[in-house]
Amino acid sequence: MTARTGQRGSPPTGLARRWSQAADTHLTPTKRSLLVTWTAFGTTFGTVRLITHGIRGGWLPWGNVSAGGRHLHHYNIGIAALAGVGLVAVRGDDRAVRHPLVAAGYGAGTALIADEFALLLDLQDVYWTEEGRISVDVALGIMAALGTYLTAAPFWHEIVRITHEHARRRGAALLVRSAPYD
């Protein structure tokens, strides 16, 4: 029995196959790990900013996380994530160290800590003060985007080229199919 396209475990086809080939060509295991790390950093940072603004603005259905009546800042979760990643790294098993979840855990944990940098620097909860909050958000966002791009620039160039070529072919095919009959 052959696997159908789109099912788990089946080989990618079309555009997905070409992206996969580009990754195999341009991304060493180290670059893959760094790419996952930067992607997790940027995604986590953006998600945390969205959630904290939603809690503060009252448009999310939940509130701050507390334990024993004490607010738990998300840097605590970041420290726990980095401790877990460190434990895996110290263990020395190359297969485990190179696992994408290790890179994602490192990126996410770092973002959770970086988001509360002002609190850690001054040991005062200045998370919602205007002083520097916007500039910190922008700086960390730019860092995440640049890190994700620079880690694998040749890969991203190839992805853009492949996608553009695919879209051009698909667009031409759509034009031919939708052309009026004479």
pLDDT one-digit tens code per residue, 65-101:
888 888 888 889 999 999 999 998 888 678 888 888 9
Cβ-Cβ contacts under 8 Å for 147 (sequence gap 6 or more): 34, 38, 41, 42
Q: Would you say residue 19 lies in a domain?
A: no
Q: What range defines the domain where residue 137 resides? A: 29-54+74-156
The pLDDT value recorded for residue 78 is: 94
Cα 61 to Cα 56, 58, 134: the distances in Å are 11, 7, 25
Q: Is the pLDDT of residue 11 over 80?
A: no
Count up the domains in the chain and report the number. 1
Range 156-165 average pLDDT: 87
62 assigned to some structural domain: no
In a domain, 107, yes or no: yes
Does 122 map to a domain? yes
Please give the pLDDT value at position 9: 64
Q: Give yes or no for residue 166 having a pLDDT over 90.
A: no
Q: Is residue 142 situated within a structural domain?
A: yes
Q: Give the pLDDT band (50/70/90) at residue 1.
A: very low
Distance of CA 48 to the CA centre of its chain: 12
Spatial contact of 157 and 9, defined as CB atoms under 8 Å apart: no
Tokens of 132: 């520097």
Interior/surface letters 46-64, b for 16+ CB within 10 angstroms, e for the rest: bebbeebeeeeeeeeeeee
Q: What is the pLDDT of residue 3?
A: 44
Tell whether 48 is covered by a domain: yes
Residue 33 included in any domain: yes
Residue range 145-155: average pLDDT? Answer: 85
Q: Is residue 7 part of a domain?
A: no
